[in-house]
Amino acid sequence: MELVLVVSFPDQPDREGFTVVADPRDQLVWERAKKGRSLGDLLTLQVRIEDLYSLAHIAAKRTKKYLDDLAVFEVEAAVVMGRRDDSDEDPSPEGPSADESSS
């Protein structure tokens, strides 16, 4: 499973945000960084906001999209989480749309 994390910088409108995918490598580093963390917490979205920022920071550093330390990241960034895995279905509708079927 991969987690899609959207990072923005609300107090810095001239600074461009980014999207980062936290893959299993990032999840492993996140899990090992603090006792009690587990992949199960991520799968059920039972994480604290502190954990979300930590995971986003790990993934952003790995992809070189953000290189400063976690404390600065927590002050500067706003993080929103999505989730993507192989079982996610294509969100596009199949068959005729409601408008087409009513004519």
User: What predicted TM-score, i.e. pTM, was given to this entire model?
Assistant: 0.75
12-54 pLDDT, tens digit each:
999 999 999 999 999 999 999 988 888 888 888 788 899 999 9
Q: Is residue 92 part of a domain?
A: no
Domain that holds residue 48: 3-85
Q: Which two tokens stand for residue 10?
A: 């609300």
Q: Is residue 69 part of a domain?
A: yes
Q: What is the pLDDT at residue 91?
A: 38
Q: What is the pLDDT at residue 95?
A: 43
How many domains does the chain contain in total? 1
Alpha-helix runs per DSSP H in the chain: 24-33, 39-43, 49-62, 70-76, 98-101
**Averaged pLDDT for residues 71-91:** 74
Q: Is residue 8 part of a domain?
A: yes
- Backbone φ and ψ for 51, nearest 5 degrees, come out as -70, -40
Q: Is residue 99 part of a domain?
A: no
**Averaged pLDDT for residues 78-96:** 56
How many CB atoms within 10 Å of residue 58? 21
Q: What is the pLDDT at residue 84?
A: 53
